[in-house]
Amino acid sequence: MTSSGSNLVRLDLFGLAPGVLLTEQELAAAMNYSRKTLQYWRQSGQGPPFIRLGRQVRYRVGEVVKWLEHSDA
């Protein structure tokens, strides 16, 4: 899903399987938002649903797509 370094491949969220888990960096690139925006949304309860795997944050594609369809983002 990503290339080496800080260059990310742009993801088509609507073309991915709903169960795919994305990192914060992958989702930020796919949505064209900064990682700081996603972090702010998590802290304020405004963003797409997320899960924690230990200390890592992941976003399930299906939940993000549902959130996008029902939000103003």
pLDDT tens, 23-54? Answer: 999 999 999 999 999 999 999 999 999 999 99
Whole-model pTM? 0.82
Helix ranges (DSSP H) in the chain: 24-31, 35-44, 61-69
Would 4 be classed as within a structural domain? no
> Domain of 36: which CATH number?
1.10.10.10
Would 48 be classed as within a structural domain? yes
pLDDT at 5 over 60: no
Counted domains in the chain:
1
Over residues 62-67, mean pLDDT: 95
Burial bucket for residue 58 (CB in 10 Å: 0-12, 13-18, 19+): middle
**Range(s) of the domain holding residue 34:** 13-69
On average, the pLDDT of the chain sits at 88
| Helix-strand-coil split of the chain, %, nearest 5 | 40, 20, 40
Q: What pLDDT, on the 0 to 100 scale, is given for residue 23?
A: 97
Q: What pLDDT, on the 0 to 100 scale, is given for residue 4?
A: 42
